[in-house]
Amino acid sequence: MSSNTPRQPIRDLRFFLTVPHACSYLEGREATTLFLDPQESPGSGVYDSLAPLGFRRSGRHLYRPHCEGCNACISVRIPVKGFTPNRTQRKLYRRNADLEARVRPALFDAEHYGLYAHYIRTRHADGDMYPPSHEQYRTFLTLNQDYARMLELRLDGRLLAVSAFDQLSHGLSAIYTFFDPADEFDRRSLGTYAVLALVERARELGLPHVYLGYWIEECRKMAYKQAFSPLERLEGRHWRRLIPT
């Protein structure tokens, strides 16, 4: 996507709220989601306008949390120029130097789906994405838009991980990563390495940010995001450095 892609004025867009539903991250909480009018195509100009305001993409929908009395979901991003890998991350770079990275369009691929289904059944059988299905996968991770991409990581031709992401004019937005859950690959920390690979891709493209979605301090599954330093958080309409507690 070109850096001079026009951004659509937000005042011209329509948004809707979902009815309250069970929160996926915090037990006993209710969540409400603000989403862009489904009749509005999530084109590049719209997406470029909304991503810096904390909006994410799921399939063809752009959304962000809008929960009454709760601000636990915090949008975070990595400033690419300021990022310096820590000791553990430097080890992961070396440990995964034998992987081949390739970027493809975010279209349905049977090999990708097979890995996704295996990952969900093995790692997330207690989650709301279980059981996996072709339709669920298509509506969640595939999109026929130029900005929607899939980063493949392969070892001697074997698919080990796929990271769905979007290439915006001001950064890369990480959507979801799934990987081979076999014990033999645990030391590779493929989920973390996929984020490092996106940071390197953003650096190569001259893009200033990698958006990591939402961080919830109380959610253990999101703790890994704090390992990327520096990290910025969205406060209102301003991005500020996240100070670890």
pLDDT in tens, 76-107: 999 999 999 999 999 999 999 999 999 999 99
pLDDT in tens, 122-170: 999 988 899 999 999 999 999 999 999 999 999 999 999 999 999 999 9
- Cβ neighbours for 113, distance < 8 A, ≥ 6 positions apart: 134, 137
What per-residue confidence (pLDDT) applies to 3?
43
What per-residue confidence (pLDDT) applies to 142?
97
What per-residue confidence (pLDDT) applies to 126?
87
Q: Residues 49, 10: contact at Cβ < 8 Å?
A: yes
Considering only residues 218 and 207, tell me which one the structure prediction assigns the higher pLDDT: 207
Query: 37-51 as b/e, with b when 16 or more CB fall inside 10 Å?
Result: eeebebebbbbbbbb
Looking at the chain, the whole-number percentage of residues with pLDDT higher than 90 is: 82
| pTM of the shown model | 0.92
| Backbone angles phi and psi of 208, in degrees to 5 | -80, -15
Q: Residues 209, 76: contact at Cβ < 8 Å?
A: no
